[in-house]
Structure 1
Amino acid sequence: MTTISPVIVPYTGAIPGGVHQGLEIEIQGTVPHHAHQGFGINLCQGPQKEPTTTLHFNPRLNEHCIVLNHMQNNGWGGEERKPCQHFHKGKPFDLRIMVKPQMFKIKVNGQLVADFAHRLPKETAQFILIEGEVSISYIKFSAGGHGGGGRGHGAGFAPQPSGYMPQPSGYMPQPSGYMPQPSGYAPPFSQPSAPAYGQPYPMGAHAAPPQPGGQPIYNPPVPFTSSIPGGLAPGRMISISGVPHANPSRFSVNLQSGAYDGSDVALQFDVRFRFGDSVNTVVRNHCQAGGWGQEERGASHFPFMPNANFDMLILVEPQAFKVAVNNQHFAEFRHRLPVHAANTLNVSGDVRLTQVRFQ
């Protein structure tokens, strides 16, 4: 469970772990006495409503109604209108958004206000945006406890994004920052050591057995340093979700041999927005005995944006690290040090982490 307080409106922030079945969002707020038009609560793909908003919840005091809608490719869908009898000037309210398999179920002060059927895959929502004439005390995100939709491993578990996953048939591809759909599809890596997400690792010459640490770490502080449960071996994966700062210079993801300064680094993935003479460049390198190796900079695109969520997957293969960003292959970095020597993950720089997971 994550609680955000205080909340200054307008507010935009990443939803820890993204929207998934069983998530419950609780918003405690007050409609101010001077309110005239109303306010909006949006579950969006990015930090603003455009281009994709999965849920738009808009109490309109001047029209005495609640408008629900979605936005796709910068265009609004058809409005659904409900009576606005639960929001009163000067009065506090308790709003709950519960994510169900087929809909968002919305309650205000314990009373059902609306069931809004999913028009887009619910997982497209990664940010919450609150704007308008409203005061918010806190926002609370919890897994909920209805119908097996929480984050356990039982029926109904919606896995977190795990890399290259095909989009549902007929669904428009989303721009950078899109959170892939939970599924059991196998990422299209060539090595047999990369299993389908959520499936057991095959036992073989290049396969790692299941390791501890499979539960996500939400919103860790940066700089972030953690031992890698079970160490690295071919078949292991590390998924990292985060949001670069509004005016970033750089941030780095290191797989290294220890938590101390001067540790050998098997892989440094250094994202440079504007650092020295590097602009919108990702530098890959290694460090051994204090000496850095030859940089690798080649890339077809730069997948990171300020204030925009990213999902990174690092897959360990027998000969190289493979890195995917926002569901697309980005780079391959051949091993220069023994892969098992890297037992620590370190993330530092101009970034806010929303989730880290070792698989």
Structure 2
Amino acid sequence: MSVYIQGTIPHHINRFAVNFTCGQYDGADIAFHFNPRFDGRDKVVFNSFQGGSWGAEEKKKDWFPFHKGKHFELAFIVSGGCFQVNVNGSPFYEFCHRIPVECVESLLIEGDVTIQSLTIVGGGGGGGGMGGVPMPLPSFPGQGVMPLPTYPSGNLPVMGGPIYNPPVPYFGMIPGGMSPKRTVVVRGFIPEGADRFHINFKVGSSNDIALHFNPRLAEDAVVRNSMLGGGWGPEERDIPYNPFRPAQYFDISIRCGLTRFKIYVNGQHLCDFPHRLSAFQMIDGLEVGGDVVLSLIQF
């Protein structure tokens, strides 16, 4: 399982914490306590809480990647031996398990921080898999708790593993091709001065593009289209809001249904795109290009 958190550090911050907890009650064990502290001797503290007592602190002072007024992206990648923490796409720390990770049932975020999105990839129940489920959280400082899901085997189609920090332009095959209820997740960052980027769902045998998803920063538009038989179709531009801005992270989830694609950005439904290629099962490739930095692709 991997947990991705995007947020913003306010100027008045003192500290915040991300806790992988073993219960949703005061005094519950904490398998992993991740705690950046802004106190003039900026550092990140790592610890666990078990049986009513804190364990031995581990600290990292040589590199403090959090900055007041700036965005951040945290990735917690759970392995058999540790929590691996990546910050802004770079490996940061490994915290060896002190409590069996199977005991963890919720995520508690507290302190002086604004959370914009939370995504859980993978997890649960011996054979079922998750393509990436956006879990929208309210913006706060304060406190927020998110139960971590478990999934009975077979409830969801088995997905490919996440691809971390892929290059741009990116082209990859969709394992097993497109199918109903399949979700593709693309996460990344829009740099300052960006003009546009695109995500294309392609048919390798014909080079058709079943869905062209194209945020255009200079036009303040999000264009959707298809290219079938060598020709572009009519553009679709209507959206209730435009979530794409320079110098911000994004989380795009595109879910394939029987009649349409459903597109979510940062946990909120943005638009639908009715299938123009009726044989959508022929879609077998994903292409991402333009002015964008990618942090994750998940099929």
Q: CA deviation at 1:126?
A: 2.3
* Aligned equivalents of 2:235, 2:210: Cα separation in 1: 13
Aligned twin of 2:236: 296
Corresponding residue number in structure 2 for 1:83: none
**1:208-227 superposed matches below 5 A:** 210-213=157-160, 215-227=161-173
Equivalent residue number for residue 83 of structure 2? none
Partner of 1:284: 224
CA distance in 1 between partners of 2:281 and 2:223 (Å)? 22
The structure with the greater share of residues assigned to strand is: 2
Once the two structures are superposed, the pairs formed by residues 297-316 of structure 1 within 5 Å of their partners are 297-316=237-256
User: Relative to 1, partners in 2 of residues 1:109 and 1:351: Cα closer, same or farther, differing over 3 Å?
Assistant: closer
| Cα distance, 1:326 vs structure 2 | 0.6
Matches within 5 A, 1:7-86: 18=4, 45-46=7-8, 48-49=9-10, 54=16, 56-60=36-40, 66=41
Give the 5 Å matches for 1:162-181.
162-165=132-135, 167=137, 173-174=138-139, 181=146
Distance 1:281 1:356 in 2: 23
- Distance in 2, matches of 1:312 and 1:101, equals 35
The answer to whether the 8 Å contact 1:243/1:307 transfers is yes
Aligned to 1:270: 214
2:165–2:295 contact (8 Å) kept in structure 1: yes
**What is the distance in 1 between the residues matched to 2:266 and 2:55?**
25
**Which secondary structure state, in structure 1, belongs to the residue aligned with residue 192 of structure 2?**
coil
Q: Aligned pair count?
A: 226
Q: 2:276 aligns with which of 318, 327, 336?
A: 336
Alignment match, 1:346 = 287
Code of the residue aligned with 1:305 in structure 2: it is R
Distance change (3 Å), C-alpha of 1:165 and 1:140: closer
Deviation at 1:343, TM superposition (A): 0.5
Cα deviations by residue, 1:213-240 (Å, 9 ceiling, x for unpaired): 1x22111111111101111110111111
Q: Sort the Cα spacing of 1:313 and 1:181 in 2 relative to 1 into closer, same or farther, 3 A.
A: farther
Please, which of 158, 175, 200 is the counterpart of residue 254 of structure 1? Answer: 200
Residue matched to 1:189: none
1:92-103 superposed matches below 5 A: 97-98=45-46
TM-aligned CA deviation for residue 245 of structure 1: 1.2
Structure 2 regions of 5+ residues with no counterpart?
Answer: 18-35, 62-70, 76-89, 108-119, 122-130
Taking the aligned partners of 1:101 and 1:344, their CA distance within structure 2 comes to 45
Quote the offset at 1:272 in angstroms. 0.3
Matches of 2:283 and 2:55, distance apart in 1: 43
Aligned partners of 2:201 and 2:49: how far apart in 1? 37
CA–CA distance in 2 between the matches of 1:99 and 1:328? 33
Are 2:279 and 1:357 equivalent residues in the alignment? Answer: no
Superposed CA deviations along residues 74-115 of structure 1, whole A, max 9, x for unmatched, are xxxxxxxxxxxxxxxxxxxxx6643758999853479xxxxx
Query: What is the 5 A alignment of 1:129-140?
Result: 140=91
Does residue 107 of the first structure (1) align with residue 69 of the second (2)? no
- Residue 201 of structure 1 deviates from its aligned partner by 5.0
Q: Structure 1's 45 and 51: CA in aligned 2 closer, same or farther, altered over 3 A?
A: farther
What's 2:261 paired with? Answer: 321
Instruction: Tell me what 2:26 maps to.
Output: none
- Give the deviation of 1:356 after TM superposition: 1.1
Following superposition, the deviation at residue 57 of structure 1 comes to 1.9
SS in 1 for 2:186: strand
- What percentage of aligned pairs have identical amino acids? 30
Measure how far apart 1:143 and its partner are.
Answer: 5.3
What is the identity, as a one-letter code, of the residue corresponding to 1:352? V
TM-score normalized by the length of structure 2: 0.63
State the Cα RMSD in Å: 3.8
- Equivalent residues of 2:136, 2:266 under 8 A apart: no
SS of the residue corresponding to residue 176 of structure 2 reads coil
How far apart are residue 295 of structure 1 and its match?
0.7
The alpha carbon displacement at 1:354 in A equals 0.8
Which residue is equivalent to 1:141? 92
- Which 5+ residue runs of structure 1 have no aligned equivalent? 1-15, 20-43, 61-65, 68-94, 111-123, 129-138, 168-172, 185-196, 203-208
2:33 maps to which residue? none
SS in 2 for 1:340: helix
Shift of 1:250: 0.2
Q: Does residue 230 of structure 1 match 2:170? A: no
